[in-house]
Structure 1
Amino acid sequence: MYNAQFWVKHLGLQPHLEGGFYRQTYVSNELIAQSHLPPRYNGQRAFSTAIYFLLEHPDFSAFHRLKSDEIWHFYAGASLTLWLISPQGALSFLFLGPDPSQGHHFQATVPAGYWFAASLDTPGTYALVGCTMAPGFEFADFELAQREELARQFPQHRSLIEQLTR
């Protein structure tokens, strides 16, 4: 069984500002003109992008939101939880992992505009996943949550927000 550092080195992963490690693996050569995108985008976008993403306990992916849907794909390691807060404040979660009998999924979709974070379910573990977006990812479409601002917006989730922000 491989450990997290094997994957970081083998896949050439780099630290991500939300936590964890990543490497972009695909950017479509074709572009969608801004005029054909919803107004929330400030320029053209690739049709699609993909990354590898790795979390190792006790690290977490801090609450952030994106302007596109993001599909998560489970590859290796242990299960993780995706924590989602809808624009209306409803909290939900999705489990990614290797064991469907435990409620794990191999794929899960985070809708555009949702605040979301990820954490590992078991101490001492890691999870290697992939993330795919269409239209493709641009850092201009990424917003990292500010702890106090998000907690003020959703006070009912303050404890979780404090755990999963930096």
Structure 2
Amino acid sequence: MNSKARYYIDKLELQKHPEGGFYREIYRAGEMFFTETIPAKKLNKKNISTSIYFLLTGRDKSLFHRLKSDEIWHFYDGCDVKIYIIDNDGNLSEVQLGRSREVFQFVIPKNSWFAAELTDKSSFALVGCTVSPGFDFKDFELADRNKLLKKYPEHEKLIKQFTKH
């Protein structure tokens, strides 16, 4: 593992993330609001915003997943991160977050499937992720390979690369 990545993992007290990489929540807004679920018409209490540190190192990947809220990625240190996004219509887009493209923030729209990897497998990347309305694991969905392949067969190679068997 890259020594600077190890430094950040220790210094920031990061832990393994279910989608890959390491993370730690650093902010959860105290302000709450209510959202209505459909079709249940049930009120859910949500934090207005949350933020985490997120670190990928070496061959770590952020596997395809989606959230019910927009997520802003902020680049802090390391090599560039390539983010792959599949929207609801099956359109694939790629964003390179980092110094080389001078894209330091990027918004991933809610309900989009997305995954990420490092552009340099011998390096690491430290980013921040801000979610609004705030993140809740019940709003997190890790992609099921077979379901995603059935829905978006044109992206088979990428889906197989960024999902579990």
TM-score by length of 2: 0.93
User: Matched residues in 2 for 1:49 and 1:87: separation?
Assistant: 24
Q: Which amino acid aligns with 2:155?
A: H
User: Matched residues in 1 for 2:130 and 2:156: separation?
Assistant: 29
User: Matched residues in 2 for 1:135 and 1:39: separation?
Assistant: 17
Shift of 1:42: 6.4
Which residue number corresponds to residue 135 of structure 1?
133
Identity in percent: 45
Residues 76, 42 of structure 1: CA spacing in aligned structure 2 closer, same or farther, 3 A cutoff?
Answer: farther
User: Matched residues in 2 for 1:74 and 1:149: separation?
Assistant: 31
User: Matched residues in 1 for 2:56 and 2:102: separation?
Assistant: 17
Task: Please list, as runs of the form range in 1=range in 2, the aligned pairs for 1:28-107 lying within 5 A after superposition.
Answer: 28-35=29-36, 39=38, 43-99=44-100, 103-107=101-105
Query: What CA deviation, in whole Å up to 9, does each residue of 1:129-158 have, x standing for no partner?
Result: 000011000001000001111111100001
Shift of 1:5: 0.7
Query: 3-state DSSP class of the match of 2:44?
Result: coil
Number of aligned pairs? Answer: 161
Unaligned runs of 5+ in 1: none
Q: Which amino acid aligns with 1:107?
A: Q
Give the structure with the larger strand fraction: 2
1:119 aligns with 2:105: no
1:64–1:143 Cα contact (<8 Å) kept = yes
RMSD over equivalenced CA pairs, Å: 1.7
Task: Please list, as runs of the form range in 1=range in 2, the aligned pairs for 1:124-163 lying within 5 A after superposition.
Answer: 124-163=122-161
Unaligned runs of 5+ in 2: none
